């Protein structure tokens, strides 16, 4: 009866969808089934925190992901907050129960060989559009900049004499990114084609065919389309190229602090996730190459 009252409250007073209410109901029913299997005399009003913890452990032993366990625990917390307000219980057994930490997924990246194939031997189209698309892919991969930083680039931000690009990152923080001779030559070639294409002037460093500044959506579309030519990754976004830049730098012995500065990260902890990525690659190489792996 308590469960039914709670679900009715979610549906009629909180305006939750029927699907959401059904999920809450299933989670609470699963907990009830568990504590009844432990002791038939138990009900929602007399379970304790230890029983909730043992249920959480049981879920994890049964192979539930951290996100699923935390969702079920969240449903139970909401249920007991409701029971407290109604005076049905005097204490919340979920109060001091801590759910499992969610594992952060490793960044998705494109391998160096695939990026070389994309930039050096893949047909990306002809004319202004083809040159621009290649330049954008190369810029992402060779500088690690964010999509917002790339879109916001102006001609004045590129210093060919000092070989640096000034980008404006999160919270309007600016940083300088160095570039090499190959990128310098390719940028000059792109600017020559771009200026010839839009003789009346361009709004930004990277522009659409009408001379207007590139939009985030347009960049996403061209990156996804062109990455599809060399990889079958589910994620094929500009951020994947940023991940690819960081991973390639670390794989080629760049210091973690240097990569942090190039990416514009606030904390070294954010950059450290790429060390896990490179270690995963080392594990794969070991497993494939060692006869007793």
Task: Write out pLDDT tens, residues 109-127.
Answer: 999 999 999 999 999 998 9
Segment 89-114 shows an average pLDDT of 87
Model pLDDT for residues 170-219, shown as the tens digit of each residue? 878 999 999 999 999 999 999 999 999 988 888 899 999 999 999 999 99
81 inside domain? yes
Q: How far, in Å, CA of 159 to CA of 179, rounded?
A: 10
Segment 228-242 shows an average pLDDT of 93
The secondary structure element, H or E, covering residue 240 is: helix 238-251
100 inside domain? no
End-to-end CA distance of the chain: 56
106 inside domain? no
What is the predicted pLDDT for the residue at 286? Answer: 63
Portion of the chain with pLDDT greater than 90, in percent: 75
Catalytic site residues? 146, 170, 239, 242, 265, 274
Q: Are residues 58 and 185 in the same domain?
A: no
Q: Are residues 203 and 76 in the same domain?
A: no
Q: Are residues 50 and 161 in the same domain?
A: no
91 inside domain? no
Better-predicted residue by pLDDT, 106 or 220: 220
Number of domains in the chain: 2
Q: Are residues 58 and 126 in the same domain?
A: no
Q: Check if the beta carbon of residue 230 is closer than 8 Å to that of residue 118.
A: yes
244 inside domain? yes
Neighbouring CB atoms inside 10 A of 266's CB total 12
Model pLDDT for residues 45-70, shown as the tens digit of each residue? 999 999 999 999 999 999 898 889 99
Q: Are residues 82 and 117 in the same domain?
A: no
Mean pLDDT of the chain: 91
CATH assignment of the domain containing 248: 1.10.443.10
pLDDT band at 252 (very low <50, low <70, confident <90, very high): confident
Question: Is a pLDDT exceeding 70 seen at residue 285?
Answer: no
Q: Are residues 78 and 136 in the same domain?
A: no
Domain extent, residue 271, equals: 112-289
């Amino acid at each position: 009866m308590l469960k039914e009252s709670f679900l009715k409250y979610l549906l009629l007073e909180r305006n939750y969808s029927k699907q959401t209410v059904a999920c809450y109901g299933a989670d609470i029913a699963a907990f009830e089934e568990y504590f009844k299997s432990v002791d038939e005399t138990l009900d929602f009003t007399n379970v304790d925190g230890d029983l909730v913890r043992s249920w959480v452990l049981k879920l994890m032993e049964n192979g539930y992901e951290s996100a699923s366990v935390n969702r079920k625990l969240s449903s139970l917390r909401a249920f007991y907050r409701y029971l407290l307000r109604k005076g049905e219980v005097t204490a919340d057994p979920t109060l001091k129960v801590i759910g499992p930490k969610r594992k952060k997924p490793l960044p998705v990246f494109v391998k160096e060989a695939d990026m070389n194939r994309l930039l050096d031997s893949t047909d990306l189209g002809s004319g202004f559009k083809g040159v621009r698309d290649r330049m954008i892919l190369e810029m992402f991969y060779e500088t690690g900049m964010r999509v917002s930083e790339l879109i916001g680039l102006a001609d004045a931000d590129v210093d060919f004499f000092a070989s640096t690009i000034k980008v404006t990152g999160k919270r309007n923080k600016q940083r300088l990114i160095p570039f090499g001779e190959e990128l310098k030559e390719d940028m000059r070639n792109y600017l020559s084609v771009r200026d010839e294409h839009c003789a009346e002037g361009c709004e930004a460093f990277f522009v659409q065919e009408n001379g207007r500044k590139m939009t985030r959506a347009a960049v996403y579309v061209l990156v996804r389309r062109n990455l599809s030519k060399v990889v079958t990754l589910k994620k094929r976004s500009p951020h994947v190229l940023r991940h690819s830049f960081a991973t390639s730098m670390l794989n080629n012995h760049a210091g973690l602090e240097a990569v942090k500065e190039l990416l514009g990260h606030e904390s070294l902890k954010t950059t450290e996730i790429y060390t896990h990525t490179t270690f995963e690659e080392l594990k794969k190489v070991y497993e494939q190459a060692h006869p007793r792996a």
